[in-house]
Amino acid sequence: MITLSSIHESVVGGAASFESTLEKQLGTITSGARINAFISVTADRARESARRADLELAQSGGRIPASKPLLGIPVAIKDNLQWAGSRTTCASKMLQEYVSPFTATAVMRLEAAGAVIVGKTNLDEFAMGGSGEHSAFGPTLNPADESRVAGGSSSGSAAAVAAGMVPVALGSDTGGSIRLPASFCGIVGLKPGYGRVSRFGLVAFASSLDQVGPMGATVSDVEKVYRVIEGHDPLDSTSIAVRAPIEHKGPAGLRVGIPAEFFAEGLDPGVRASVERALARLKEQGAVLVPISLPNVHHSVACYYVIAVAEASSNLSRFDGVRFGSRTDAARSASSLEEFYCENRSLFGREVKRRILLGTFVLSSGYHDAYYGRACQVRELIRQDFSSAFSKVDLIASPVAPAPAFKIGEHSQSPLQMYLNDLYTIPANLAGLPALSVPVEPHSSGLPVGLQLMAASGGEDLLLAVGRTLEVTR
């Protein structure tokens, strides 16, 4: 893997230029095409940006301007984020020819900071999946073991970083879609708290859960990207106007909550061992490990898969071939409106159809209160569990996933088994909390393992500070 700082050191030191660095990274993308990390590579636009970056560096006397902390850095963006003039497919046949007329705020901030966008990365269709297998453009392979999944839904962004194609990338996280692939691929991934990063220009899956965040080779690189993309955006009504950071401490005296529910039956022994060794190192540095309970988190998966599918059903209703989306030849010759919709919405993949049907059901007359209404009540109980826990501890630590990356196709016939991979990541989304995945010692099989750290709202600085400590000592 490459890092943001290594690129800047090389270019500022005169060993390379941003343009030559880009060409090297484009070569890595080409040679690693079998991994299927990218849906589209925007080489010509990237070359123009790299040339401008070299010119800006020369004009600033060979120093990286403070206003351009990402100057010349190759960055990839998940293909559910709008970027004017490029295709935004969401890895779906429904949007395979759609060209964005505008740019997402997070992407706009990357460009303003000098980043060189090299392309759009693969994902589970409309970000619905935890493995990277549900893409109309084929699955993403895990660079750590190409027979295994890269995790999802931000599979391409994670694989691109892990394979050394880019030092950093943007993903989105609705129920673990940044943290899970980060863990499976052995990189760092941050899900900011809800509202910390603008969702304007992110194609919505579940609007009350979605969050844009950075992925990178190191905590330092992830932090630099986060500083660029965070902050209030008037174009996003859910964006938080006032930033109230939690004081970030070193490990000494830090109270780290260890929830019993996250270390229970079903956790792979090798994952448990890797996570516990990382926690032991925190303890050696002065952290206090505090046993806690989150009594309602065992409802998280059921709660999430009511709320998320309900919001997905509502959000995806616009992709009908009339207002938005492609139109099939069969739909064009349909003899009725019903036939038109049936033909056209066949463009959706199997997993997306499953979630639309589930979501439509839980919102239907007679079932709304029984399912969606109750799920919202349970969500509030989960929020209260976290609020109570954070009155006693500074952070909460857990595995990111119950097992390492599984074989491609291993869970293809078992949607429930696939959904259970998000068991430890979903609660942070339901509660709107920031969470970080940091690589720890590998599994006994050699596969990557991630430690998840969760903080109270506003705790991104604390997460990153502790993440850096773990990174130094791992």
**Hey, which residues are catalytic here?**
78, 153, 177
Quick one: three-class SS letters along 266-326?
CCCHHHHHHHHHHHHHHHHCCCEEEEECCCCHHHHHHHHHHHHHHHHHHHHHHECCCCECC
Closest C-alpha among 375, 380, 448, 446 to residue 184? 448
- SS3 percent helix, strand, coil of the chain, rounded to 5, is 45, 15, 40
Sheet holding 212-216, edge to edge: 38-41, 116-121, 74-78, 168-172, 212-216, 188-191, 435-439, 450-454, 395-399, 255-259, 288-292
For residues 64 and 182, what is the distance between their CA atoms, to the nearest angstrom? Answer: 28
* N-term to C-term CA, the chain: 16
φ and ψ at 87, to 5 degrees?
A: -70, 140
Q: What is the 3-state secondary structure (H, E, C) of 76-143?
A: EEECCECCCCCECCCCCHHHCCCECCCCCHHHHHHHHCCCEEEEEECCCHHHCCCCCCCCCCCCCEEC
Closest CA to 172 of 184, 160, 156: 156
For residues 156 and 217, give the distance between their C-alpha atoms in angstroms, rounded to a whole number: 14
At 109, list the tokens.
Answer: 């901030």
In angstroms, rounded to a whole number, what is the distance separating the alpha carbons of residues 253 and 285? 9
Cα dihedral 54, 60, 65, 70, rounded to 10, equals 0
Type of residue at 415: P
Which backbone phi and psi does 387 adopt, to 5 degrees? -60, -40
Identify the burial level of 414 via C-beta atoms within 10 angstroms of its C-beta, where 0-12 means exposed, 13-18 middle and 19 or more buried: exposed
C-alpha angle with apex 337: 126 to 325, nearest 5 degrees? 25
Contact 75, 117 (CB under 8 A): yes
